[in-house]
Amino acid sequence: MLIREARPEDRPFIEEIARLTWDGEDYLARVFDEWLEDGGFYALEVDGKVVGTTKLTILPGKVGWLEGLRVHPDYRGRGFGRKLHDFMLQLGERLAREGRIEALEFATYFLNRESISMAEKTGFHVKAKFFVFGAKTGDFQPEEPEQIEPELSDLTLGLIPVGWRFVRRSEEALDWIRENAYIYDFNGFHFLVSRKGAMFTPLDVGLATLKAMLPAMAWVARERGKERFDVMLPSGVKPLLPGLKRLGLLPWDGTEEPNVLVFRKKLT
């Protein structure tokens, strides 16, 4: 077994892992080139075959963001996921000693029991909870929003989801968001979407404002060729669940509880 930096020739192996993850909906293959260029992208090799991956991305606020931990289905149950997790902990501790990060964080779906168990056993704690809802583009009459240049005042949430990464509100985070996401205005209401994919974050939260923004989100999703899109909302919207369902937003797996957990482990 060897954990090493990912290489261009690893593509076929990693594309195979992606095809066999989340019913073929895994994003890993789509970000392969970007992650190779960015660095911090690692492959776990067994007998010359790449059977696992993991990634560390440095986010604003000296956060080492963990993502992309995958193990090929044929190799699960053999401790490889834990070996990748431990490898990233060691990497995080080294980066902390170098002053590059102060904490490790990651987000996971609430049914990902293996990742949650590993996190809790190695000193991670839940930092925040969110709901992720699914919606169908065809359920709305799409209306075009206006793309705007974001200002700090537009970031109304303390912890801001950008796809499946989360950043704390700050000037540094604003600069990072400008590079990695778009912010749109629709009738005075603002929402954010990462430059790739179709995960939306409303920056104005409420039933009336969401009802107003959903046609604009559907327009962006349609422009990206998506038949479905997702909306990430903070856990505080739980009392609004019946109304959100009437708007066409359905929580993944029909859960009544927050289904995205953000974990943090302080290193310094």
Superfamily of domain 130-258 in CATH is Gcn5-related N-acetyltransferase (GNAT) (3.40.630.30)
CATH architecture of 2-101: 3-Layer(aba) Sandwich (3.40)
186-229 pLDDT, tens per residue? 999 999 999 988 999 999 889 999 999 999 999 999 999 999 99
pTM of the model: 0.92
Domain with CATH 3.40.630.30 in the chain: 2-101, 130-258
pLDDT at 24: 72
From the CB of residue 256, how many other CB atoms can be counted at a distance below 10 Å? 9
| Banded pLDDT at 112 (limits 50, 70, 90) | confident
| Phi, psi values for residue 29, rounded to 5° | -65, -35
- pLDDT reported for residue 26: 83
pLDDT at residue 172, as a whole number: 97
Q: How many of the other CB atoms lie within 10 Å of CB of 168?
A: 18
β-pairing, 228-234 vs 199-202, is parallel
State pLDDT tens for residues 6-26: 999 999 999 999 999 877 778
Alpha-carbon 66 to chain mean position: 10
